[in-house]
Amino acid sequence: MKLNGKVAVVTGSGRGIGRGLAMRLAQDGAAVVVSDINIENAQKVAAEIEAMGGKSMAIQTDVTKTDQVNELVDKTVAKFGKLDIMVANAGIANIKMSIEMTAEEWNKIMEVNTTGVFLCDTAAARQMIKQGHNGTMGSGGKIINCASIAAHSGFAILAAYSASKFAVRGFTQALAKELGPHKINVNAYCPGIVGTDMWTLIDEKMGPYLGMGKGEVLKEYTKLITAGTVGVPEEVACFVSYLASSDADYMTGQSVMIDGGIVMN
């Protein structure tokens, strides 16, 4: 298994894409800390990992709180001795026209999706720098951020979400340059339409704006997918597994679409 001996943290991993990432990294041999604001969900995923013979621990974390993010890293190191991989996956969406959105709603999206990534990345980076490296790229650690196809092309009725993910993409590039001397890779994955609770919410809330009923928005957006089918978390996890491994040591500062061919650059 290519991640044997590695220790990973995955935020927002109590369900959806995050759960898929945690399970895949555990299957690859990593000890996985399942971090989520919902501790019950996190505990279930950690139990699943342990049931298949893996090492895991569940930690409740609000990624917008500096002290909780620092505690997440500290508890990880106390339990497993180090931190090799940080996957900043936690995120939320707000489906609303910009002219209807309040500043509080806008700020909440930015706080979770952008500030949350900043806090997780920098807390992990400080620990990774302390641990050192062997002189080769990637040996200092792997930081992997959740962006979106909305980080490459803004989507109507998802303006705040799009802005937050563009910010993640820019931060990923800048942090990759800052941490390169420490041999730490920083990349992002950009999911498209994935069959999770978030897309159930988007379908429900976007429908009235477009004059569509339940299920029709998802059906319409699926037409944009070159591959012809909605994605599943495991397909995103395949790419994150690559980013976490030594196979991706020469790759940094990139935000790559895993969307079945919706957005092509």
pLDDT tens, residue by residue, 57-106: 999 999 999 999 999 999 999 999 999 999 999 999 999 999 999 999 99
Run of H or E including 50: helix 39-51
Assign 207 a pLDDT band (cuts: 50, 70, 90). Answer: confident
CB atoms within 10 A of CB 178: 12
pLDDT for position 197: 83
pLDDT for position 213: 86
CATH number for the domain running over 7-192+232-258: 3.40.50.720
Q: Is 250 a catalytic residue?
A: no
Strands annotated E in 44-136 = 56-60, 85-88
Assign 1 a pLDDT band (cuts: 50, 70, 90). Answer: confident
pLDDT for position 203: 82
The more confidently predicted of residues 89 and 200 is: 89
Q: What is the pTM of this model?
A: 0.96
Mean pLDDT, the chain, whole residue set? 96
**Which DSSP symbol is given to 242?**
H
Longest Cα pair distance anywhere in the chain, in angstroms? 57
Indicate whether 265 pLDDT > 90.
Answer: no
User: Considering 161, 189, 242, 250, which one is annotated as catalytic?
Assistant: 161
Assign 212 a pLDDT band (cuts: 50, 70, 90). Answer: confident
